[in-house]
Each structure stands twice: as C-alpha cells, then as structure tokens.
Chain A
C-alpha cells in the first residue's frame, strides 16, 4: 500500500500567549515553538499503523519553508520512508485552495492508494485542504475520521459527528481521508528512528518543478485574502481575581458560599 501523508509545520498556540504583528496580517511567531500540526500527527501515526499491518511505503509531503524540515524529519523518524518539501517564494500567502493545488500537482505524478492528512490545522483552521485535494485528483474523500479498516479495494471508516455520534461509511480506494485527533496514540520518536531518518530521502521541489504558474498559487491563486487580524472583542469580561494564592482561593470560597455551592 502506497500511502501519502500531507503535513503542516505550525506554531503551537494552545498554551501560548499570542501577539499580532504590526502589519496586522499575521501573528508574531519569534517566540513560538513550531511542530507538526496536531491533527497531522495523528494522520502520520495512522499511516504508520496501516503500513505495519498491510506493508508498503509512506511519503510525507509539506508545503512550507526550510523550517518545515523539522516536521518532515520527525515524519521520517516515526516511520515515513520519503519526504517532499514544496518550497517557493510564490507559495507564500497560499490559502487552503492554493495549497491543495500545489499538493495536487505533486501527488498526481506519484503512485498512491491512500492519502491521509489532518482534518484541520491548528493555525488557520480551514478544514479544506484534504477535501479539495481529493476533488482535484478526482478521487473520493471522507473527513473527521476516527477509525479506518482497510479491505482490499475499499476502506470502512468511522466519521465523527456532533455529540459523539459516528457515521460508518464505506469508501472506494484510492481516497483521501482526513483524520480527527484521538484516532490513535502517536508514538514517540526513537533514537533509532532519528538515526534511520538521516539516511532517508528528503526532496525539495519548487514552482517550476511542479509546472505551476505563479498566479495559480500564493495570494493570487487563493480564494481568500486576509485583510486584518485582531484580538476578538470581549462580550463578557471575567472578573480576574488578583492577589496571592491564599487570597484568590478565599475569594472563590466566599463566592461559592454566597451562592450555596459549598
């Protein structure tokens, strides 16, 4: 089974404080730690699990700058066999649509039975790339996947719906599946893995290599252009309790007592 995993190198922001850059079109990333997008991390692990069961090879692909090699190396260390980084000045400012076009041009010349990617990215959260890619390749897709069973020419998958409900679908291969977090337990990178990764191929391709025109990608090839970023307006402001730990705790206890909660 030839598996392709599309991954993105993103800043970790769940636990970090964010400041918006002066041009108001991006956030300041200097102090942020970058890593593989959380959803893609589960997609990568799922690819490795499928390879362990059915055999085959895994190719990890990303659109990004040289920095993204960190994420590709991680993929190689965790079990991917090859990696491709798609880098060009012209790719900057690409939205999900332009990104999917770049991936499409790359993947259409590769052998594959299955393409996995995260259901969304933790930065821009479009939740589009995998589905657009499938449409461009003319193959079926299913999103928000919590379970995959590969059977010959097709896959039985569970899609996560609202409220914990799941929808079981049968989908013909080749297909694109976008992976939801929690589908598996991503393994740690082993020392052996890191060593092996050094010998694995990491190819870099640009606009010309892919036969794309500059206007097809970047902002000009995108559906959506960012005008400005802002910190969300506050509808209801929490009363932030100040003071030492004791003082804060006492205030909470008082509030709970007044409300008859303790």
Chain B
C-alpha cells in the first residue's frame, strides 16, 4: 500500500491550522491514488495532539524527543529523512510556513526527491505529479510538472485549502523510538520573541484604511491618513510600508502581521499578495483602490476603483466629509 505523509505543524503548544488544511488535501489525494494517509508528529509530550490528529488520518506516527520540542530544521530533517528512507512514502506534504521553508528544500536535496514549494493545488495524473503555484506576487498561476520520482515533497500554501470537518477516521497511534543519535550540533533553538504590543490594536477596529506600496513616497502618507480620519477608522498597511519604517509593525496586516475582520476594509495601493489577503479577506466589506485592474486585491474586494490613488483618495475624503457634515 502506498503511503502519503503529512507533517503536523505545531508551535508553543498548539497545532497550526496548516496541519488540518494539509490533511484535507492529503485525504483527497490518498483516496484518489489508493494510498494510506499518515500524519507524522514530531515533538515532546504531544499525545494530546496525536488524539486529535487520529480523527483525520489512518495512522499517526509520533516521535517523542525533547530535542524535537521546538522546531529546528536540523533535528527535524534527521528524523524525517530516516522515516522517509524507511517507509518510502509516495508524497510528503509540508506547510509552506516559516517552518516548512526552513526544512523542505534541504530534506528534498538530501533525499534526492523533487520538491515543489508554495503550491495552491496538486494532482497525480497517473504517475505524473502536476502542481499549481502562483508567481509574480499572485498575478500569474503556473501549472508545473515534477520530475518523475518514487516520491515527492510538496509544500502547501497556508490558508488556501478549506478544512473539512472531522472525519472520525479513528486512526491508529503508533509511537516510534527517536532515531536522533547525536546532539544538535549546528543549530540551537534559544527562544521565541513576541512582537512588541503597539499603541493601537488594529484587530479591534471596525473600520480600517490600509496603505500599500502604491503610495510610493512617505510624503504621500497624509493623503490616506486623512481618509482614515474622515471615516473614523484606523490606519493599517501591507508589508512594504513596515519594511520601509513608514508605519510600526503592529499596523501590518497579513501572514507575518495581524489578521483583521473589520466591517469596512479600504485597501489603498495594495496589489494583494496572498500574504496580505490572508490577513483581511474575511472583512465584511472590502473596497480596493489600485491602478492595475488585474491586481489580485480585486479578487477579494467587493468594490474596486481602478485609479491613481493620489487622485481619487482626496476626492473620496472630501465627499465623505461633506456627507458627514450634512
């Protein structure tokens, strides 16, 4: 029987959502290709996770070792390469997360297994593995084929696969002795550092006006600030604005920042890379301003304005002020 591995991802005592997203996709593929779905759970004192995961797979393989308590690509790679060489799964799913990007490429290289990263879909067509990826910041989709192999490694984009409810799979939980023989030598986990708490909690706001790269210059920021003021909303932004230090980190919306769900989200000059979209797509009403009519932000927005933000935002601000004073 063929086997598909899903690598469970957990951090600070919590299973990450990506784990269940991968299990949903993994289950679909296992049914189509007549393979068993196995979760690989590496950690320390993680029996509770195993019980939850058993609902979603045929088998949960646990390796409990204090050296696996916190993610470390060095120890994870040693354990996984051992497991993969022994069980020869046809497919290994790993999250395209901060953990996955640190692990998958070196693991694939060590095992000489073809790897496709950041996939938004994948399917076996016979022996051939076809994946779908996004390139150019989400503006183009690519269908690609992996070099023929006995086994493949694929990392899946987070927040892309909708999780199906518990299937009550009643999977078997199997504990395996840790194959780690030596101490960690190259890489040592020291600690987690929490982001500093900011003055404004954007996740609590009803109205958010967010600025992106399209603002071009820090001198243009007041144009959007005035819109936020007129709407009595708070100012937020996408990654490039924080990278340039134009706004503090706690204003960043997206994968590496905050996830927000306001009543109104106005995206100004934000093209809509998936990292940003996954942090705001569940807002009640989304209005986007961008001069590129094909910008991915328009795929999640309710209303779109294809215009130069420097021209349209001041007019919109005035109209809102007029309305409020009337």
Interface residues of A, Cβ cutoff 8 Å to B: 13-18, 20, 27, 96-97, 100, 119-120, 122-128, 131-132, 134-136, 140-144, 156, 158-172, 175, 181-182, 185, 222-241, 245-246, 248-253, 255-257, 259, 261-262
> What are 13 inter-chain pairs, A to B, with CB distance below 8 A?
A18-B136, A122-B137, A128-B115, A131-B101, A131-B102, A132-B108, A136-B109, A169-B190, A227-B145, A229-B142, A229-B143, A236-B300, A256-B320
> 0/1 per residue, B8-20, Cβ < 8 Å to A?
0001000000000
Q: Is the CB of A249 within 8 A of B319?
A: yes
Judge whether B231 is part of the interface by a CB distance below 8 angstroms: yes
Q: Is the CB of B115 within 8 A of A232?
A: no
Q: Is the CB of B298 within 8 A of A238?
A: yes
B126 to chain A, nearest CB (A): 15
Known contacts A127-B117, A131-B104, A223-B115; can you find 14 more A-B pairs with CB under 8 A?
A125-B137, A134-B106, A141-B106, A159-B98, A160-B256, A166-B192, A168-B189, A171-B187, A224-B145, A225-B144, A227-B144, A230-B141, A238-B303, A240-B304
Q: A229-B142, A245-B315 are in contact. Are A156 and B190 (CB under 8 A)?
A: yes
Q: Is the CB of B252 within 8 A of A229?
A: no
Residues of chain A within 8 A of B271, CB atoms compared: 14-15
Residues of chain A within 8 A of B239, CB atoms compared: 181-182
Q: Is the CB of A123 within 8 A of B135?
A: yes
Residues of chain A within 8 A of B286, CB atoms compared: 238
A27 to chain B, nearest CB (A): 6
Q: Is the CB of A248 within 8 A of B305?
A: yes
Interface residues of B, Cβ cutoff 8 Å to A: 11, 70-74, 96-99, 101-102, 104-106, 108-110, 114-118, 130-131, 133-147, 158, 185-195, 207, 213-214, 231, 239-240, 242-245, 249-250, 252, 255-259, 263-264, 271, 285-288, 291-294, 296, 298-307, 311-312, 315-316, 318-320, 323-324
Q: Is the CB of A234 within 8 A of B299?
A: yes
Q: Is the CB of A240 within 8 A of B231?
A: no
Residues of chain A within 8 A of B318, CB atoms compared: 249
A116 to chain B, nearest CB (A): 16
Q: Is the CB of B294 within 8 A of A18?
A: yes
Q: Is the CB of B136 within 8 A of A228?
A: no
Closest to A225 in B: B145
B182 to chain A, nearest CB (A): 14
The residue from B73, B105, B244 contacting A132, defined by CB atoms under 8 A apart: B105
A136→B110 CA distance, assembly (Å):
8
A113 to chain B, nearest CB (A): 15
Q: Most B CB atoms within 10 A — which of A228, A235, A253?
A: A253
The residue from B99, B102, B140 contacting A231, defined by CB atoms under 8 A apart: B140
Residues of chain A within 8 A of B323, CB atoms compared: 253, 257, 262
Q: Is the CB of B118 within 8 A of A126?
A: yes
Closest to A129 in B: B105
Q: Is the CB of B102 within 8 A of A168?
A: no
B189 to chain A, nearest CB (A): 6
Q: A185-B245, A241-B305 are in contact. Are A164 and B98 (CB under 8 A)?
A: no
B203 to chain A, nearest CB (A): 11
Q: Is the CB of A165 within 8 A of B195?
A: yes
Q: Most A CB atoms within 10 A — which of B136, B257, B259, B324?
A: B136
Q: Is the CB of A170 within 8 A of B188?
A: yes
B72 to chain A, nearest CB (A): 8
Closest to A172 in B: B186
The residue from B185, B193, B243, B303 contacting A181, defined by CB atoms under 8 A apart: B243
A134 to chain B, nearest CB (A): 6
Q: Is the CB of B243 within 8 A of A226?
A: no
Residues of chain B within 8 A of A239, CB atoms compared: 302-304
Q: Is the CB of A235 within 8 A of B145?
A: no
Q: Is the CB of B106 within 8 A of A165?
A: no
Q: A15-B271, A230-B141 are in contact. Are A224 and B285 (CB under 8 A)?
A: no
Residues of chain A within 8 A of B305, CB atoms compared: 240-241, 248, 252
A141→B312 CA distance, assembly (Å):
46
A257→B232 CA distance, assembly (Å):
14
Closest to A143 in B: B102
Closest to B292 in A: A17
The residue from B133, B141, B193, B207 contacting A158, defined by CB atoms under 8 A apart: B193
Q: A132-B109, A165-B195, A227-B145 are in contact. Are A13 and B139 (CB under 8 A)?
A: yes
The residue from A144, A232, A240, A248 contacting B299, defined by CB atoms under 8 A apart: A232
A159→B314 CA distance, assembly (Å):
39
The residue from B115, B142, B252, B311 contacting A245, defined by CB atoms under 8 A apart: B311
Residues of chain B within 8 A of A122, CB atoms compared: 136-137
A192→B319 CA distance, assembly (Å):
49
A207 to chain B, nearest CB (A): 20
Q: A181-B239, A245-B307, A249-B315 are in contact. Are A18 and B264 (CB under 8 A)?
A: no
Q: Is the CB of A140 within 8 A of B74?
A: yes
Q: A181-B239, A232-B140, A252-B316 are in contact. Are A135 and B118 (CB under 8 A)?
A: no
Residues of chain B within 8 A of A143, CB atoms compared: 98, 101-102
Q: Is the CB of A168 within 8 A of B193?
A: yes
Q: Most A CB atoms within 10 A — which of B186, B301, B302?
A: B186
